[in-house]
C-alpha cells in the first residue's frame, strides 16, 4: 500500500481535490475469468490508476508474468476503463509531471455537457448512467427498478437505445430478451466527448 498512498497523496488528491468516487483495490474480472485488482478506481470517470514499482513490475518478472501484465491491461480496456499507470520513480521524483498528465486526461474527458449526452431523452440517459454504474449485464426488470416504470415502457426505451447502438442484446431472441450490456459507443458518449 506504500505506492498507493504515494499515488493518492502526490497525484490524485492534489488534482481531484477529494477522495470521493475513488475505490481502493478495485476488483475486476479478466478476459480469462481471473480476478484482477486495480490500485485505485475512479468510479465516475472510469479510470483505473496503478502505481507500478520497477522491481515488482519489471526488473525481476518472468516472461509469463510479463504476458500476464499485458493481458491485464487488455482486460481493463475491454471493461471500458481507462488504464492509467504511474511508476514509483515518477511519483517520487516528478509528482508535478504526474499531476499534469492527470489534468490533461481529465481535460480530454471533459464535462457531460460537451458530450452529446443531453441530446438523449432523460430516461435513456438514466438507463445509460445506471448501466454504467451497474458494470455488468442488466435485465429489463433492472431498468424497471432503476426508472420506477412499468415493463412495457422500459422495453420501448431499451429498443430505442438498442437501435441507437447504446446497448446490445445478450442472449434471447428477436421476440424475447434476457440481458443487455452498455456499448462502448454509450461509454464514449459519456466520457470521451464523441
**pTM of this prediction exceeds 0.85:** no
Answer with the residue of higher pLDDT: 59 or 119: 119
Q: Is 111 a residue whose pLDDT tops 80?
A: no
58-75, pLDDT tens digit by residue? 667 788 878 878 888 888
pLDDT of residue 192: 45
pLDDT: is 70 or 163 the higher one?
163
What residues contact 146, with CB distance under 8 A and at least 6 apart?
126, 127, 130
Question: Crossing angle, helix 122-134 and helix 140-147, to 10 degrees?
Answer: 120
Amino acid at each position: 500500500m506504500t505506492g498507493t498512498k504515494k499515488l493518492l497523496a502526490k497525484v490524485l488528491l492534489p488534482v481531484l481535490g477529494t477522495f470521493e468516487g475513488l475505490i481502493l483495490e478495485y476488483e475486476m474480472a479478466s478476459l480469462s475469468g481471473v480476478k484482477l485488482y486495480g490500485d485505485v478506481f475512479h468510479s465516475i470517470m472510469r479510470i483505473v490508476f496503478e502505481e507500478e514499482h520497477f522491481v515488482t513490475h519489471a526488473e525481476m518478472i518472468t516472461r509469463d508474468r510479463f504476458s500476464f501484465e499485458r493481458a491485464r491491461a487488455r482486460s481493463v480496456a475491454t471493461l471500458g476503463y481507462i488504464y492509467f499507470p504511474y511508476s514509483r520513480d515518477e511519483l517520487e521524483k516528478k509528482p508535478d509531471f504526474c499531476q499534469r498528465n492527470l489534468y490533461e486526461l481529465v481535460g480530454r474527458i471533459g464535462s457531460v455537457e460537451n458530450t452529446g449526452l443531453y441530446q438523449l431523452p432523460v430516461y435513456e440517459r438514466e438507463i445509460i448512467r445506471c448501466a454504467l454504474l451497474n458494470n455488468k449485464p442488466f435485465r429489463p426488470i433492472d431498468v424497471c427498478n432503476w426508472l420506477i416504470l412499468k415493463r412495457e415502457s422500459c422495453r420501448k426505451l431499451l429498443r430505442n437505445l438498442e437501435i441507437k447502438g447504446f446497448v446490445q442484446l445478450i442472449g434471447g431472441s428477436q421476440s424475447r430478451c434476457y440481458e443487455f450490456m452498455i456499448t462502448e459507443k454509450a461509454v464514449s458518449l459519456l466520457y470521451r466527448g464523441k
